[in-house]
Amino acid sequence: MRRTLLLLSVSAAPLFLAAQDCTNIFFSEYCEGTSQNKALEIYNPTLLPVDLSQYVIKRYSNGSFTATESLTLSGTIPASQTIVVTNGQLDSTGGFGFCDTTLYNLGQLHCPGTYPTPFYFNGDDALTLERLDGTIIDIIGEVGVDPGSGWTDDATANYTDANGGTYWTKDQTLVRKSSVLHGVVSNPSPFNVTLEWDSLPINDWSNLNIHECQCPSVNSVNEYRTEAMVIAPNPVENGQVMIKATARINSVDVFDTHGRSVYSISTTAKSGTFILEFPGAAPGLYMVQVTLEGGARLSRELMVR
């Protein structure tokens, strides 16, 4: 049976940035099962492939403010797709138990099959998805808080198990709600897991490798194949760029290479032409994202000199 997270604030060293809808990868499923049946699914809500070698998963064990283990990822997540990372231990060496081969085979990436790695997490450990520079782009749990055996649905105890409550992060599979469009980038205080996640029974992996999200997907964009846009000049030197699209432009957003918004405007344009001006932009590569009338969202790289 499904049971229907919060935005977080930690006084520690990790870097945080403002979350932007549908512009960065995030956790979409969490499996905390028997033995070492541990897995995390990551979803790419963007319309471009994402290089995972720039990201790391970290565990903050038992209320620690500093990461106790980390795992640097590899490979690529295609646009509007998921990737699953599982515990890699397939035998009971060391008394830690093992990962069921069925779950293991559902994964595309696996942690080393020996302790320690983040994939020996339990229900009381906070997990983060971070860039290599330490910028946090998603969190499960509350960094710096030991909830007991796991976070619960009990608001009277700040969602810890101090007063009882039903466990959500212990012996459960969690699936991110389709309405969630970005990760949690500020440490939640408290961590109300029920806000952004649905709960499935222990060892239920039926949703792995499938995620429903309300972000525009590659399939939805395919419905607008007749729509297109161009930006010129590219590269740009004076901070002024003309955008021409095949439908009326509703909004324009510009992101840097870290996914941070540097420009955002809802336009009053009556046509598919818009003059983008951001003369103070530092030289480098940016992503220009245009939302057209009808919902199509198109992206182009822009080089600023």
pLDDT digits (tens, 9 = 90+) for 246-255: 888 888 988 8
State the Cα–Cα distance between residues 244 and 231, nearest whole angstrom.
Answer: 6
Average pLDDT over the chain, rounded to whole? 86
List strand residue ranges (DSSP E) for 192-283, in order. 197-200, 229-232, 240-245, 249-255, 261-266, 273-277
* Domain housing 62: 15-200
Residue-level pLDDT at 227: 64
**Minimum mean pLDDT range among 25-29, 47-51, 101-105, 154-158:** 47-51
- Whole-angstrom Cα distance, residue 232 to residue 241? 6
| pLDDT for 245 beyond 80 | yes
Taking 70 as the threshold, does the pLDDT of residue 7 lie above it?
no
Query: Where is pLDDT greater, at 64 or 305?
Result: 64
CA-CA distance, 64 to 147, in Å (whole number)? 11
- Closest by alpha carbon to 33, among 142, 144, 167? 167
Q: Are residues 156 and 282 in the same domain?
A: no
| pLDDT recorded at residue 18 | 54
Asked whether residue 132 falls in the same domain as residue 237, the answer is no
The pLDDT of residue 233 is 84
Question: Could you tell me if 76 and 39 lie in one domain?
Answer: yes
Number of domains in the chain: 2
Closest CA to 287 of 249, 231, 226: 231
Q: Please check whether residues 41 and 169 belong to one and the same domain.
A: yes
CA-angle at 20, arms to 55 and 145, nearest 5°: 60
